[in-house]
Amino acid sequence: MSIFDKGFDPLQEIQRATKTAGETATKIAEGASGMAVAASAAVVGTATTAGAAIAEAASGAKASLDEKEAERLDAEKAEYAPKVQEALRAIEGSRAQELLGSFQESPLPLTEANAAKVKSAFPIPREQTVVWADAEFDLRPSGIAMTEKGVYIKADADAFAVLGKEKRQSRLFYFE
């Protein structure tokens, strides 16, 4: 007597085993997928938390650096202020004082370093004190600077340029 005589059907057994294996594989895949989703959510949550912490730390560091820079600039302005006050006393009661009074605070912070840049770029004599300035120090410095002796204007472009003509160099104007 063989196993086939007792109702053993190999094809049915293979189909049942395949079905069971497929169901098991599906359950494993669903479990793995759920675990992967949970793991990726945990990773995203951790990354978000870490990113927020880094951003907060960077923001705090930037604020601290900005505060230190502002303090340094204020100290440099305070160091240069007595020179400006002395120069302003020299023009007291003149039209130059009226002119200077019509302007707002100097757009270029008045510090020893900035005054040296202005004096070298325009050029302004060493013995004069820069009391107001609005200048750019790129490849072709330009702007306006005022001292107790006059106003210096350095133009890096010709306002009345004619096409086809040779461009002029920067020009320095001085008004006493």
Per-residue pLDDT at 170: 73
Per-residue pLDDT at 14: 77
Per-residue pLDDT at 115: 92
* pLDDT digit string, tens, across residues 140-169: 888 999 999 988 988 876 655 666 666 667
Per-residue pLDDT at 111: 92
Per-residue pLDDT at 161: 61
Per-residue pLDDT at 167: 64
Per-residue pLDDT at 165: 64
Edge-to-edge strands of the sheet including 151-155? Answer: 130-136, 142-147, 151-155, 171-175
Which parts of the chain have pLDDT scores under 70?
1-8, 10, 17, 21, 157-168
Residue 144: C-alpha distances to residues 44, 51, 134 (Å): 55, 46, 5
User: Is the pTM of the predicted complex or chain greater than 0.75?
Assistant: no
- The beta-carbon contacts of 36-41 under 8 Å, at least 24 apart in sequence, are none
